[in-house]
Structure 1
Amino acid sequence: MRTLIWVSISILAAGMFRARSAQALDGHVLDAINGQPVRGAIVTATVAGGTQIAVAAEDGSFQFASAPQKVAARAIGYGRAAAVTQDDLSHLVLRLSPLRPKGLYLSVYGVGDAGLRDAAVKLVDITELNALVIDVKGDRGLIPYPSGVAGAISCGARSQTTVRDMSAVIAYLKSHGIYLIGRIVVFKDHPLANCHPEWAVKVTKGQLFRDREQQAWIDPSRREAWSYSLALAAEAAALGFDEIQFDYVRFPDAQGLQFSVPGTAANRSAAITGFLAAARARLAPYNVFIGADIFGYVAWNESDTGIGQDLLQLVETVDYLSPLLYPSGYKYGIPGYADPIRHPYEIVYLTLRHALERAHISPLRLRPWLQAFRDYAFDRRLFDADEIRAQIRGAEQAGSDGWMLWNPRNIYTADGLSPR
């Protein structure tokens, strides 16, 4: 049976009535399968003055001093739950179902193409898959649906519409029990950088930097530029995405660039963790999970890898980290394995285990990207059933919170996937 994302809720009414303005609310967050407390669950309450946050105690309990209008909860390794409260309510039980997202990626174009989208849904229906990662803002800064975010139209991000009604697409996907992850490419943003060159990364002569794909970037240390992606994340959360995943949340991996602050590791890391902290604050009212994509080598490097991604700092800012563990991307290999594409299992398993040893976090907080496309760096071999299954086995044996398959063409098969 497919995992249910919105989970069951039971409400226990109090024996006496009190005015809502003075009534306190307490409750518990429990595992929907075994009834055990979910320690550390994040509980979000919507009150007249805004949003209040509580963390479930060892016994799963939480409390709010005044009665909220709505209560929602989420926890690492689980889905989400929400309840609208009642005037006579004094105790609430929220039940969370365990969830290990196993997903496919759909680009700006893939989510708008009925054939590609329906093919992905069919794979969810017949295999172990239960999630989709959908571009909300893609690699070229494009937003595929009619967004209400200021600047989206004027800066050219809405030059193409591939999804006319994102709410309808989300409803369709959720009818199939799919966990939805909204991917937002943050600092690689060609339209925004051209619209606001004062925010853009520059080369030594002052011109806009362009990467190998001729795309301009936003300087992550320009905090005034953050509001655009943060507003888009809030819009995606309101549309119903279960998780917001930030990609290209880093500095460009190039030399000789100019930023608004000195290019030190401390400044780079502060900009990236600062943005993610701002995202957490902005998204607090929506009860959504927050994820970040990181370079695979970040798991091995004790520095910020020259891009502002410091593993030990990043784990403090998001719910889930998603290292890009494509063997083709490991041009230097890893210790003991100089030829990465011949060892897809070891690349995934050993990288995740090394990250866990360094960060001392639950393996459920790591959900890697896996390679489902032809090798481009070594011998151009196909990554089909054997390579895909080897990567999945590496992720799961490391204890990971699921995994995600990346194919830029959005063409997937059941090869390497277990049947439902």
Structure 2
Amino acid sequence: MATQASRRRRVIPLLIGALVVLAIVAPLSVRALTASDPVVSGVDEGATVTTDAVRLLSVSAPEGQDLADVQVFLDGAPAQTRRDGDRLLLADPALPDGAHSVSARVPARMMPDREATRSFTVDGTAPVLEVDPVAVSDPRKPFTLKGKATGATAVTADDKTVPIGDDGAFAVQFDKAPAKVLLSARDGAGNSAKQDFTVPVRHPGMKAVHMTAMAWTSDALREPVLQLAREGRINTIQLDIKDESGEVGYQSQVPLAREIGATRSHYDAKAVVDQLHQAGVRVVGRLVAFRDPILARASWTSGKTDRVVQTHDGRPWSGGYGDYAFTNFANPEVVGYNLDLATEAATIGFDDVLYDYIRRPEGALGQMKLPGLQGTPEQAIADFLAKSRDAVRDRGAFLGASVFGIAASRPGPVAQDIPLMSKHVDYIAPMVYPSHWGPGEYGVAQPESQPYDITARSVAEFVAKAKAKDSGTQVIPWLQAFSLRKSYGPAEVQAQIKAAQDSGASSFLLWNASCRYDTAGLQPAT
């Protein structure tokens, strides 16, 4: 009996101990089963993300756990982190391309560690956009833009989705060539590449003569020019849109032109353009920009004096051109007026808009007042051309700028910086008339008596300056078809044409203020 009692006395403490252990362990086991793991968020499991997206990846502590107890591992090694409120972020989220994992671990003393892992792939390489830079020779014809977006899964052109091949090749069709196309390529990770692509154009060239609006009304002047075109001696006619007097030769619908009384009825612009196109003749509209007495006078008398170039003491600048001669190219209303006329002409169907007097007046800049001018006159002129090119090109026309012969070597006096301007036009038209050069220019003793020499050397410099910015801009010179101190006939005109060709300018515009070209010696088409 004693033995049995002894055994019971030994068993009872053991049972009590076991119960105590169970009482302690059971709650721990329940808590272990119900406790949450740390949280890794911001990047989906198995996702392919950009480098920037890794910045969203964060680690949070389990409920009721101190964030300081959480250990973070990047690709299996302890990671440097920084605290952001109640979460941890990678101190350096700029991970290299490839597979990665981030783990969050909370050590436990008597139970397994609580852990969460997120695996993902970083792709920080943007697609590569390449565009076929084929130049357009007729902006009004249908145009297909071709290119390749290597690594892209989606491409848009001007926010419209473009189908792409497995190799990233794409083709976008337009009814006519736009001035610019905004291309965007995106890959599966979200990397993107954008390109504001300027559609390159190549002017088809011209053999042209100048005609005023009034000259076009005269059978005696118009018919000989049309005969030159029929014989293939010329292929282009330059017809004035707005001339040096400020007159617009047709009934323009531009509101300001009508308001200031600038419109005339010398010709029906649409009818003339259609007639010449049917005859296979291109039409260049010459638009005298900032020499505009009609706009200047109307502006000054109505109190809108900021539209006018002024003397330093606040009078209209004359500079030998007469009262109210020059409008202010730094004034938004003046800029808008010329832009409206240019876009109207392009919409009517003029093949080119060729600006003239796209400059400041001659004279000391310090003696002039140009209200609103920011920066240099040269930059303001170039900015105007940039606005014009996009507007004109969108309507299917080319843009040219007539410039002084001295502008290649002396841009300051007229604010015509040729490399700067060349970035924003399809061609530069320098007025390199031999009679306008002084003795010794370009090493030519008597320029008016040496038309080949002076033309060759001056045109060559313009060709070099126009290419200085790798713009692809052509040089189409104005050549002299009139007599001043020396009689000019076929030999002198042909000498200039050959000199221009020899210097890299195969096209030309002939100027004769009287619009007579019977002594030009132009050869018929062969």
TM-score (norm 1): 0.75
Q: Distance in 2 between matches of 1:411 and 1:41?
A: 33
Q: Distance in 2 between matches of 1:207 and 1:393?
A: 46
Picking from 359, 362, 365, the partner of 1:250 is 359
Q: Distance in 2 between matches of 1:99 and 1:44?
A: 11
Give the Å deviation of 1:253: 0.8
Q: Structure 1 residues 173 and 359 mapped into 2: Cα distance closer, same or farther (>3 Å)?
A: closer
SS at match of 1:313: helix
1:259 aligns to 2:370 (yes or no): yes
- Report 1:367-386 matches (<5 A): 367-375=476-484, 380-386=485-491
User: What residue number does 1:178 align with?
Assistant: 281
- 1:172 alignment partner AA: Q
TM-score (norm 2): 0.60
Worse-matched range after superposition: 242-251 or 122-131: 122-131
Give the Å deviation of 1:175: 1.8
Picking from 438, 443, 459, the partner of 1:331 is 438
SS at match of 1:151: helix
Q: Structure 1 residues 323 and 55 mapped into 2: Cα distance closer, same or farther (>3 Å)?
A: farther
- 1:140 alignment partner AA: S
Q: Is the 8 A contact 2:489 2:519 kept in 1?
A: no
CA deviation string 1:218-245 (max 9, x = no partner): 1112233211110011110111111111
- 1:128 alignment partner AA: R
Give the Å deviation of 1:73: 3.7
Q: Distance in 2 between matches of 1:188 and 1:228?
A: 13
Give the Å deviation of 1:261: 5.3
Q: Is the 8 A contact 1:327 1:344 kept in 2?
A: yes
User: What residue number does 1:410 align with?
Assistant: 515
Give the Å deviation of 1:153: 2.2
Q: Is the 8 A contact 1:293 1:324 kept in 2?
A: yes
1:208 aligns to 2:312 (yes or no): no
Q: Structure 1 residues 412 and 179 mapped into 2: Cα distance closer, same or farther (>3 Å)?
A: same
1:319 aligns to 2:430 (yes or no): no
Picking from 226, 243, 246, the partner of 1:141 is 246
* Two-structure CA RMSD over aligned residues (Å): 3.2
SS at match of 2:240: strand
1:224 aligns to 2:333 (yes or no): yes
SS at match of 1:183: strand
1:396 aligns to 2:501 (yes or no): yes
- Report 1:19-168 matches (<5 A): 39-41=134-136, 64=157, 65=160, 71-73=175-177, 99-158=204-263, 160-163=264-267, 165-168=268-271
Q: Structure 1 residues 111 and 57 mapped into 2: Cα distance closer, same or farther (>3 Å)?
A: farther
Q: Is the 8 A contact 2:405 2:431 kept in 1?
A: yes
Give the Å deviation of 1:40: 3.4
User: What residue number does 2:296 align with?
Assistant: 193
User: What residue number does 2:396 align with?
Assistant: 287
Q: Is the 8 A contact 2:237 2:281 kept in 1?
A: yes
Give the Å deviation of 1:277: 0.9
- 1:406 alignment partner AA: W
CA deviation string 1:164-202 (max 9, x = no partner): x22111111112211111110000000111111221011
Give the Å deviation of 1:100: 2.4
Give the Å deviation of 1:339: 1.4
Give the Å deviation of 1:298: 1.3
Q: Is the radius of gyration larger for structure 1 or structure 2? A: 2
Q: Distance in 2 between matches of 1:354 and 1:210?
A: 31
User: What residue number does 2:416 align with?
Assistant: 309
Q: Structure 1 residues 333 and 104 mapped into 2: Cα distance closer, same or farther (>3 Å)?
A: farther
Q: Is the 8 A contact 1:106 1:132 kept in 2?
A: yes
Give the Å deviation of 1:113: 2.2
Give the Å deviation of 1:210: 2.0
Worse-matched range after superposition: 188-197 or 276-285: 276-285
SS at match of 2:385: helix
Q: Distance in 2 between matches of 1:54 and 1:63?
A: 14
Picking from 330, 341, 349, the partner of 2:456 is 349
CA deviation string 1:346-400 (max 9, x = no partner): 111111212233443588700000001112xxxx112111110000001111221
Q: Is the 8 A contact 1:201 1:257 kept in 2?
A: yes
Q: Distance in 1 between matches of 2:486 and 2:483?
A: 6
SS at match of 2:316: coil
Q: Structure 1 residues 284 and 358 mapped into 2: Cα distance closer, same or farther (>3 Å)?
A: closer
Give the Å deviation of 1:55: 6.3
Worse-matched range after superposition: 352-361 or 213-222: 352-361
Give the Å deviation of 1:308: 1.3
Q: Is the 8 A contact 1:43 1:55 kept in 2?
A: no
Q: Is the 8 A contact 2:361 2:414 kept in 1?
A: yes
Total equivalences in the alignment: 347
User: What residue number does 2:101 align with?
Assistant: none
SS at match of 2:233: coil
Worse-matched range after superposition: 387-396 or 273-282: 273-282
User: What residue number does 1:93 align with?
Assistant: none
Q: Distance in 2 between matches of 1:289 and 1:175?
A: 19
CA deviation string 1:256-300 (max 9, x = no partner): 32212579xx51111100110111232232121110001111122
SS at match of 1:218: coil
Q: Distance in 1 between matches of 2:454 and 2:224?
A: 29
- 1:129 alignment partner AA: I
Q: Structure 1 residues 389 and 44 mapped into 2: Cα distance closer, same or farther (>3 Å)?
A: closer
SS at match of 1:277: helix
User: What residue number does 1:4 align with?
Assistant: none
SS at match of 1:105: strand
Q: Distance in 1 between matches of 2:407 and 2:439?
A: 13
- Which is bigger in relative contact order (C-alpha 8 A, separation at least 6)? 1
Q: Is the 8 A contact 2:140 2:396 kept in 1?
A: no
- 1:357 alignment partner AA: A
- 2:265 alignment partner AA: T
Q: Structure 1 residues 362 and 257 mapped into 2: Cα distance closer, same or farther (>3 Å)?
A: closer
Q: What are the ranges of 5 or more consecutive residues in structure 1 without an aligned counterpart?
A: 1-28, 30-36, 47-52, 76-95
Q: Structure 1 residues 287 and 56 mapped into 2: Cα distance closer, same or farther (>3 Å)?
A: farther
